[in-house]
Structure 1
Amino acid sequence: MRIALTGATGFVGRHCIDRLATAETNIQSWYRSGTPTPQKHVQWIRGELNDDDSTTRLVAGCDTVIHTALSRSSDSFMSEPEDPVAYYETNVLGTLKLIEAAQKAGVTRFIFLSSGAVHDIVADDLPLDERHPLWPTTLYGASKAAVETLVHAYGLSGKMNIATLRPVAIAGIDTPIERSKWHALIQSVAAGKKTEATGGGKVVFVDDVVSAIDCLLHSDANLAGQTYNICSGFISHYQVATLAKELTGSDAELIGPAKESKRSLCTDKIQQLDMQFSGEDKLREIVQTLANRP
C-alpha cells in the first residue's frame, strides 16, 4: 500500500507515520519548509494544501489518501483567521482539489479527518450521533463541516470510496511535550501546587485516532460517503489531576468539583467495524509520561 498523507508534520500526522510506515506501507507526505528528518518508508514532497502542482505530485502512484492537514495562521485550531476567505479557499477548495486529484490518480480509498467542532451547538432532543445536524460556531468548524458535505457528495454518488472520521479533542504526547493536552495541569499537581481542576471534556487519544484510521484502511465495509464519530470517553481535569497525585505522590490540593458530561457521543457506528477504544490504562500512561517531564 502507498499512502498520501497530508498534515504529516502535525500531531496526528506524526503518529500516523510512527504506526503506519512499514515495509508493506510506504507514505508520501508534504512538508512546507525546512528539511524534514529522513524516515524509513516515508517520501517527503515539498508542497501544501491548495497548491495544484504539489497536490498532483502527492497523490501520484498512491492507492490511499489520509487527509489530516489544516492550514491556519495561529497556534490554535479554534482561532478565527485573519483572512476568512483565504482560510476557506485553502482548507475547503484546497481539499476539493485534493479529492479531484486523487480521483484522477486512481486512488481507491480516501479518509478525511474532520472535528467535533462541527457540533458546537447540539439539540437537546436528538442523539449525538452521525445523523445530528452540523451547527458549528467557528470558521474552523464550518470548514470541516463543508468538507464533510464534499465527502457525502463524492461518496454517496459513487464517484469515490471516501469517508470521514470525526474526532473530539485529541489527547496524547505531542512534540514539544509542553503542547500536550493536560501538561500544565499535571505539572502543577506534580509540583505540589494548589491546582484548579474543574474543567474537562470529551477526548479521543491520538493512538485511538490512528487506530480508527487503520480500521477504515482495512475495512471491507461500504465506507463511501460515511461519517464515523471517534471518542475515547469523557475525561475531567479532576480525574487527570487525581491520577497525577497518585502517580507522583504529590500532596497538591485540588479545587473541584469534577466536571461531568452532559451529553454522550455515540460511537456505535465505528465500533461495528471492530474499532476498540483505549481506556484507563492509556490515560494512566499519558499522565505518567507528562508527570515525569519538567
Structure 2
Amino acid sequence: MKALVSGGTGQVGRFIVEELLGQGYQVIVGGRTRPVGGLFSQPVGFVPLALDPDRDQAVAFDGADHFVHAAFDHLPGRYRGGEGRDPDSFRARNLDGTVQLFKTARKAGVQRCVFLSSRAIYGTQPDGTLLTEATPPHPDTLYGTVKLLAEQALTAMARPDFVTTSLRITGVYGAALPGQPHKWQTLFCDYLAGRPVEPRLATEVHGRDVAHAVRMMLELPSGEINGQVFNVSDLLVDRHDLLKLLQTATGCTHPLPAPATGTPPLLMETGRLRGLGWAPGGEELLAQTIRSFHA
C-alpha cells in the first residue's frame, strides 16, 4: 500500500511515517521541502505539496492508496493564535487549502483519507464536561474553527470508495526532531536550574499512539470508521508528577511544584477508539519517554 503523508516531517507527522514504514507501507512525504537524509529509519519518497487552494496538485496523488493529512501552516510553536496578524491567509491555507487537497485526493482515486484534527474543536464547555465525539463543538479560537470546518468538509465527502476519518488529538509528546527541543525542554531546564515552575495540568498522548490510531484508520473495515471522528487522548498529566519522573531520571533534588489545584482541563473520552483495539501506552510510556530524554 502506498500512503501520502502531508506534514510528514513535523513533530507529529514523523511518528506516522515511522509507524507506516514499520508496517510495510510505501510512504511518500508531501511538503514544501524534501526530508533531510537520515530523518527516517527507512527511505521515503517525496512530492511537493502545499496548502494552496488555487494550485493543481493532482500529480502528488498519483498511485496513492491513502492520504494522511497532518500538515498545518502556523506561526512557529503556536497552534492556537498561530494566525498571528493575518487570519484571512491562515484560514485560506489551512481550511481552503486543506479542503482542496481532500477533493483532489478523492478525484485521484485515493481509497482512504485521514485528517489530524484537534481537541480545540470543543472549545468552551461547561466545567466538568466529559468530551465525547457527540459533544457539541464550540471552538473559541480560529485554529479550532478551521479544524472543525475541515472535519465537516471531509465527512461530507465520505462514500464507499472514499473512506474518511478525522482524529481529534490532544497535546502530543515524544522524542524531538533532530536538532530541535522536545515539548517539555524549557520546563525541564527551568526545574533542573532551580527556577520556579507554575503548577499545571494538561492532557497528553504520545506520538506513537497517534500514529497507531492513524494506521488503524487505514486498515479497519470501512464500515466501522467511514465518516467518523475519534478522540485521541491518553493521560491527564500534572507537572508535579511529570517533574517527579524527571527527578527520578536525573537525581535532581530541587523541590517539586505543588500539585495543580482548581478546575482541571476537560477530559476526552476515548472509548470509541479503544473499542476498536487502540491501546495507548499510559504512564509506563510516559516514564519511559522521560528516561530517554536523559539516557
| TM-score clears 0.5 | yes
Corresponding residue of 2:211: 210
Aligned-residue offset at 1:125 = 7.6
Q: Output aligned runs, 1:56-95, within 5 Å.
A: 56-81=58-83, 82-95=85-98
Quote the offset at 1:186 in angstroms. 2.4
1:289 aligns to what?
Answer: 292
* AA partner of residue 48 (structure 2): R
Q: Superposed, which structure 2 residues align to 1:1-294 within 5 Å?
A: 1-21=1-21, 24-33=24-33, 36-37=36-37, 40-50=42-52, 55-81=57-83, 82-124=85-127, 127-155=130-158, 160-176=162-178, 179-191=181-193, 193-222=194-223, 223-259=225-261, 261-292=264-295
Code of the residue aligned with 1:11 in structure 2: it is Q
Deviation at 1:221, TM superposition (A): 4.7
Give the aligned residue type for 1:26: Q
Moved more, 77-86 or 159-168: 77-86
Structure 2 spans left out of the alignment, 5+ residues: none
The DSSP-based 3-state class of the residue aligned with 2:74 is coil
Give 1:126 shift: 5.3
Contact 1:26/1:41, CA 8 A, preserved across alignment: no
In structure 2, the CA distance between the partners of 1:231 and 1:134, relative to structure 1 (3 Å rule), is same
Q: 1:194 touches 1:254 (CA, 8 Å); kept in 2? A: no
Task: Give the CA deviation at 1:103.
Answer: 0.9
Query: What's the CA shift string for 1:52-92, capped at 9, x where partnerless?
Result: 65631221111100000001233311224222111111111
- Within 2, Cα distance between the matches of 1:79 and 1:56? 31
Compared CA separation, residues 42 and 262, structure 1 to 2 (3 A): closer
Q: Which range is displaced more, 66-75 or 169-178?
A: 169-178
Aligned residues: 290
Superimposed CA distance per residue, residues 25-64 of structure 1 (whole angstroms, 9 cap, x where no aligned partner): 1112223146632764411112312266563122111110
Indicate conservation of the 8 Å contact 2:169/2:233, yes or no: yes
Please list the CA deviations of residues 159-196 of structure 1 after superposition, one character each: whole Å capped at 9, or x if unmatched.
Answer: 731010011111111225653222222233344x1542
List gaps (5 residues or longer) in structure 1: none
Q: Deviations over 1:205-224 (max 9, x none)?
A: 11110111111111115212
Q: Distance in 2 between matches of 1:227 and 1:23?
A: 23
Match of 2:99, SS state, is helix
**TM-score for both structures, normalised by structure 2:** 0.90
What is the letter of the counterpart of residue 24 of structure 1? G
Contact 1:25–1:41 (Cα < 8 Å) also in 2 = no
Percent of pairs identical after alignment?
A: 25
C-alpha deviation, 1:280, in angstroms: 1.5
- Judged with a 3 Å threshold, the aligned counterparts in structure 2 of structure 1 residues 253 and 201 are, in CA distance, closer, same or farther, namely same
Task: Tell me the SS of whatever aligns to 2:154.
Answer: helix
